[in-house]
Each structure stands twice: as C-alpha cells, then as structure tokens.
Amino acid sequence: MGSFSIWHWLVVLVIVVIVFGTKKLRNIGGDVGGAVKEFKDGMKDKDEAGSSSLKVGGKNAEDETKDKTQTKL
C-alpha cells in the first residue's frame, strides 16, 4: 500500500505534461541543468582559489596584510 507502482507514476507524468506542457517542461529542464553547471563551475573556481594564494598587486594577500601590520607598529 505504501509503494507506488509504475502505473501511478505514469498517471502523474501524464497529468504534469497536461498541466505544464512539453515546451515549458523542456525550458525548466534546461534552466535546472544550466544552474547545476554554473554551481559546479563556481565550486571548482572556489577550490582553485582556495588552494592557491590570492594575488594583490603582485603580492600575496597574506604579504599585503603583514605589510600593513608592520607599518602600524
């Protein structure tokens, strides 16, 4: 009673296609796929930036911070 058979899922699929139409479902699928791709690219860029030091004007960001603290002392 708790599990759905293939016929239940086919009826749900037919109702969804009737309500939204195939063109709108295709657009939604493309939008979701594009969002997932951008998310993966963003995570890859973040990992690459995290593994290498951030450059600021030819210096590492850490060197820039050390220079500022030394001039204040």
Query: pLDDT tens across 9-66, in order?
Result: 999 999 999 998 988 888 998 999 999 999 999 988 877 776 555 454 555 555 555 6
Chain position carrying tokens 């060197």: 63
CB distance 25 to 16 below 8 Å = yes
Q: Is the per-residue pLDDT at 73 higher than 60? A: no
Say what the pLDDT of residue 4 is. Answer: 80
